[in-house]
Amino acid sequence: MTRRNRWKMFFPIAAFAVALTLVAAGCGGGGSKSSSTTSSSGGGSTTASGGKTFPNFRLAYDTGIDYLDPALSYTQEGWEIMWNVYLPLIGYKHVAGPDGATIVPYLAQDLPKVTDGGKTYTLTLRKGVKYSDGTPVKASDFAVAIERDFKVDSPGVGFFGNIVGADTFSKNPKSGHISGITTNDKTGEITIKLNAPQGDFTNILATMFAAPVPADSPAKDASTNPLPSTGPYMIQSYKPNKQAIVVRNPNFDAALYNGNVPSGNPDKMTIDIVGDDTVALQRVISGQDDYDYHQIPTDRLATTQQKYPDQIKVYTPANTYYFFMNNRVAPFDNLKVRQAVNYAINRDALVRIYGGLAQPTENVLPPTYPSYKKHDLYPYNLAKAKKLIAESGQKGASVTVWNHDRGNDPKATAYLTDVLNSIGLKAKEKIINSGVYWSTVGNQATKAQIGFADWFQDYPHPLDWIDVMLNGDRITQTHNNNYANYDNATVNAKIADLKQEPTLTDSVNSQWATLDDTIIKDAPWAAFLNRQFTDFFNEDMDLSCYVNHVLYVFDFALICKK
Amino acid sequence: MAQRAESEFTLDTASELASAERSTEIRGRSPWFLAWRRLRRNWVALGSLCVFFAIVIACLLAPVYAKHVAHTGPNAQHVLEQITVNGESRQVVSSGGYIDKKSGKPCVISGPECTLISAIPIGPQWFSAGGRFVLGADAIGRDVAVRLLYGGRTSLFVGIVSSAICTLLAIVLALLAGYFGGSTDFVITRFFDLFFAFPVVLLGIALGAALAVNGLHWGPIQLEGSNIWIPTLIISYVLIPYVGRPLRGQVLSLREKEFIEASVAQGARPWRIMFVELLPNIASSVLVFFTLIIANNIVLESALSFLGAGVQPPTASWGTMIADGQQLIVTRPWLALAPGIAIVLTVLSLNVFGDGLRDALDPRAKVKIEH
């Protein structure tokens, strides 16, 4: 699987989000195209009534947009914009809280019919769906999208490797087709055959990489010449590092989607890319922009909260920050050394280093998952850590602590380096540019001993965590996501077993929790916190319409003005 | 009674005469003596030199201060520690998140009784905490005063050593280009031009960023990316033409003087002419350049470190300290102000002294670093 950008893929605090879901019930869609919409079942309304539209929503965005092409974007910044632009066959409910993880039909009439022991997925395209340029969406456009992913070397191709024929197609994507995808443009039927059952494949079909695109879409980055959209909005223009303009899709009809896709409140979104977080905050305070995408600077949080308490939203997305320890490289090939690091770090101290907006953790899985069961395996104990280092015979071993140079993260490394030195190792820091950090530590040739990492979900499923980052069978030479090179045959076998499970029942969640416990006892990581983030709005915005989604975070389409 | 005749010459009269002559003669003064006489009358320049030496001595005493006053090292974190200030216990870094307005304890669920605050490090305690955290703590609870002194050692080391290397290489290149002329001069001058084509800071960032990742591995030189010699060498390297070019001009001019022609006529070899005849004649300029370029290099080091292309963490330098302090400039301005003031004082003292030295050595000279 290709490396993912682990930017802000967010998940709200359950209790906080439930409250938001309730307030969100009073607002939502009602865009100019749809005359009326209905509430989606369970959870708050997404596209309730009209009358909430307004001309322009101005955003002070950050510089994290990589692409605005559904096949290429792999950042929260890109996905957050495109969620309401390019619709997959199935997608997530536009509601806050845990219910946002529910998958509903988008371009498909229903959820996929899974047969053949979990190896065949069948969907049917809705009738009457059009692209923003007026051309009808065809069933074969789904196959076009998946094949285009391979042609443009999308970071999402790894998700589709289990489709029959994908492996062959990937070797020569310029000719032929993926044999496991068959489509019928007349009936709208789409059939996908897998090599083996895959429990998270429904989630994968809900990713942006699976959003149908026209057959004539170029096999190259289309960010600045945006592809026609299927969602309520379309990208009118995009100037990298400057501005993106998103406007309503004239051919979108919310009535087709049974309330699953809102028509949106803003008629237009002006997304200005602002590099500096203090400048972005000031633009929103002064009324130049409506929304600050950036995290409020630590230095300004208290005063901002004091002056504008009703304009800040704090949320906890699904994320885990951790230090990986390379099991293949000394001294971290020694269990006692890895455990010593876990005992030596004080997670409360790290929370303070991140400005206090975080919760300490020892788990792999985030606390918002039903499979989360809090560990208390490594209470802070410096004396025990020193003893373990002495017992391991690695006292005085040289250690290089890796990190990138962005945000608060280097401070965590400075802390860790001091801690490692205090328990008897000889540690020094290696800070490199954030643009090359992940590929550097994900390259086996680097032999990175220990370093910082974080993970934000691609989709809400434990496989996106444990399978991607801790499955020894998925260790690669380059672009390796398993930075710890953790390879436990029992764990690998259990992951393979759980991968077959089509749904996350209580029993399955319990097994994931046990697996999390087993892994942490092996201490390939020293997980330390789940971070919280802020959204800030100017006083003209009506935050009773604010919806924070489990995956796509703040739902731009549903915001409204006072 | 016998009287001494007027014309009688004795030993006493000879010494008296000699003494009288000595008191009226105009003594030969070396240029260095004259320069020193002029310099010692310049109280502002000498005062600046004293300030610079005071900074150097303070920085050299950093380990003493750290051990006996602050009781901590430059990289030791104290995030969760509490210190006693005027008999009251205070956290080095406060807790953040949602805090109960009355009790100050974390709120489980946010509500009207809670307020959102950031974890903020302690501010300057001056001497109310027994010498600990005199200038406060940074975001990970490190003592700013200790880091300021250690940072000064780093910045001064980089500034002085890089200036020495830069000046040395510039002298050699200037002597070669100025004395030999022709194709040697052409090659060296084009080399200077190549460097002039890039803004110094941009060139420094480019080299610094590249070498910080991979280190410098060139023959016997094997330096890790975090090695302090990397920014030192980069700064030496990028400023060579700014010293070398004016010196070359002076050498070209001296090359045509009679004393050089005389040396050539006497059969002196080129190295002797360059290093024995020409070098002493540009020494005063070299000395002034060296003084001024130290100040320049300290600023450049700070700029590169601020931008992440100079001294690498956790090593303290004034530039990295300003970068760390920037994020807390509103609530804890001393984090950035302290190293900023240190840079200003150091650079100002060196520049004022350098100007005084230039005036003393050659008042007509227009030696300055321009880029």
Structural domains for chain B = 80-140 (no CATH), 145-370 (1.10.3720.10)
Average pLDDT over residues A327-341: 97
What is the ipTM metric for this complex? Answer: 0.78
CA-angle at B77, arms to B72 and B81, nearest 5°:
90
* Average pLDDT value for residue range A289-315: 90
pLDDT at B371 over 80: no
Question: What is the C-alpha separation between B63 and A69, in angstroms, rounded?
Answer: 56
**Which range (A227-236, A514-523, B258-267) has the least confidence?**
B258-267
* pLDDT of amino acid A478: 82
Residue A321 pairs in a beta bridge with A454, A529
Please say whether the beta carbons of B331 and B121 come within 8 A.
no
Q: Where are the alpha helices (DSSP H) in A67-219?
A: 76-82, 140-151, 166-171, 201-205
Residue A380 pLDDT greater than 80, yes or no? yes
Residue B101, judged by CB atoms within 10 A of its CB (0-12, 13-18, 19+), counts as exposed
- Closest CB to A356: pick one of B95, B140, B328: B95
Query: Residue A50: its pLDDT value, please?
Result: 53
d(CA A20, CA A17): 5
Confidence (pLDDT) at B26: 64
pLDDT above 70 for A10: no
- B89, with CB counted inside 10 A (0-12, 13-18, 19+), is exposed
| Longest Cα–Cα distance in chain B | 124
What are the structure tokens assigned to A68, written together?
């605005």
pLDDT in tens, A184-211: 999 999 999 999 999 899 999 999 999 9
Q: How far is CA A54 from CA A83, A271, A562, B52, in A?
A: 20, 15, 10, 63
Q: Are strands B221-223 and A541-542 parallel, antiparallel or unpaired?
A: unpaired
Find, in chain B, the residue whose alpha carbon is nearest to that of A446. B214
pLDDT score for A51 = 67
- Give the span between the Cα atoms of A479 and A149, in whole angstroms: 18
Token representation of residue B105: 């304890």
CA A517 from chain center: how many Å? 23
pLDDT over threshold 80, residue A32: no
- CB-nearest to A355 from B118, B141, B314 is B118
pLDDT at position B358 over 80:
yes
Rounded Cα distance between B75 and B311, Å, is 14
Cβ distance A405 to B308 less than 8 Å, yes or no, reads yes
B95, A349 in Cβ contact below 8 A?
no
pLDDT at residue A459 greater than cutoff 50: yes
Q: Looking at residue A5, what is its pLDDT? A: 42
* Amino acid making up residue A471: N
**Confidence band for B322, pLDDT divided at 50, 70 and 90:** very high
Q: A348: which chain B residues are within 8 Å (Cβ-Cβ)?
A: 80
pLDDT of residue B24: 60
**Per-residue confidence (pLDDT) for residue A446, from 0 to 100:** 92
Q: What is the pLDDT of residue B355?
A: 87
| Interface contact B110-A352, CB threshold 8 A | no
Assess contact for A277 and A297: CB atoms under 8 A: yes
The residues facing A319 across adjacent strands are A456
Give the model's pLDDT for residue A128.
93
From the list B80, B226, B331, which residue is nearest A429 (CB)? B226
Which residue type is seen at A225? N
Range from A56-70, B89-103, B229-243 carrying the lowest mean pLDDT: B89-103
Whether A60 has a pLDDT exceeding 80, the answer reads yes
Q: Chain A residues with CB inside 8 Å of B109's CB?
A: 15-16
Task: For residues B362 and B216, give the distance between their C-alpha atoms in angstroms, rounded to a whole number.
Answer: 40
The predicted model gives A452-469 an average pLDDT of 92
* pLDDT over 50 at A118, yes or no: yes
Instruction: Indicate whether B27 pLDDT > 80.
Output: no
Give the tokens for residue A261.
């896709």
Are A558 and A262 in contact by the 8 Å Cβ rule? The answer is yes
Nearest partner of A268 among A285, A287, A250, judged by Cα: A250
Picking from B78, B315, B327, B334 by the largest number of A CB atoms within 10 A of its own CB, the best residue to mutate is B327
Determine the pLDDT at residue A22. Answer: 37
Q: Do the Cβ atoms of B353 and B52 come closer than 8 Å?
A: yes
**A20-34, A252-266, B323-337: which range is least confident on average?**
A20-34
**A346/B80 touch (CB, cutoff 8 Å), yes or no:** yes
Q: Assign A285 a pLDDT band (cuts: 50, 70, 90).
A: very high
CA distance A477 to A345: 30
Contacts B329 to A, Cβ<8 Å: 299
Query: Whole-prediction pTM value?
Result: 0.81
Assign residue A154 a region (left: φ > 0; alpha: ψ between -120 and 50; beta: otherwise): beta
C-alpha closest to that of A504 among A98, A210, A163? A98
Using 50, 70 and 90 to split pLDDT, how confident is the model at B32?
confident
More confident residue, B361 or A400: A400
Using a CB-CB distance cutoff of 8 angstroms, which residues of chain B are in contact with residue A305?
Answer: 115-117
Q: Which pLDDT score is estimated for B360?
A: 85
For tokens 């380096």, the residue is: A417
- Closest alpha carbon within chain A to B73: A418
Residues of B with Cβ-Cβ distance to A312 under 8 angstroms? 116
Q: What pLDDT score does A44 carry?
A: 36
Residue A41 pLDDT grade (very low, low, confident, very high; cuts 50, 70, 90): very low
List the domains of chain A with CATH numbers: 5-275+534-561 (3.40.190.10), 319-531 (3.10.105.10)
Residue B218: is its pLDDT beyond 70?
A: yes
- Residue A301 and residue B116: Cβ atoms within 8 Å? yes
- Alpha carbon distance A363, B82 (integer Å): 29
Helix residue ranges per DSSP H, B256-316: 258-265, 270-272, 279-306
* pLDDT score at A11: 34
* Confidence (pLDDT) at A472: 95
- Chain B partners within 8 Å of A20 (Cβ): none
Residue with tokens 């709208």: A188
**Residue whose C-alpha is closest to residue B79's, from A443, A164, A349:** A349
DSSP, collapsed to helix, strand or coil, labels residue B47 as helix
Q: How many Å apart are CA A413 and CA A335, to the nearest integer?
A: 21
- Among chain A residues, CA nearest to B78: A349
Q: What is the CA radius of gyration of chain A?
A: 23
Region of poorest pLDDT, from A36-40, A54-58, A508-512, B207-211: A36-40
User: Residues 6 or more apart from A286 whose CB is under 8 A from it?
Assistant: none
Strand, helix or coil at A204?
A: helix
Q: Are A343 and A378 in contact (CB under 8 A)?
A: yes
Cis upstream peptide for A331 (omega within 30°): yes
Tell me the three state secondary structure of residue A324.
Answer: strand
* pLDDT above 60 for A257: yes
For chain A, give the percent of residues with pLDDT over 70: 91
- Residues A149 and A230: their CA atoms lie apart, in Å, by 18
pLDDT value for A201: 94
Tell me the chain A residues in contact with residue B330 when contact means C-beta distances shorter than 8 Å.
299-300, 303
Distance from B276 to chain A by nearest Cα, in Å? 47
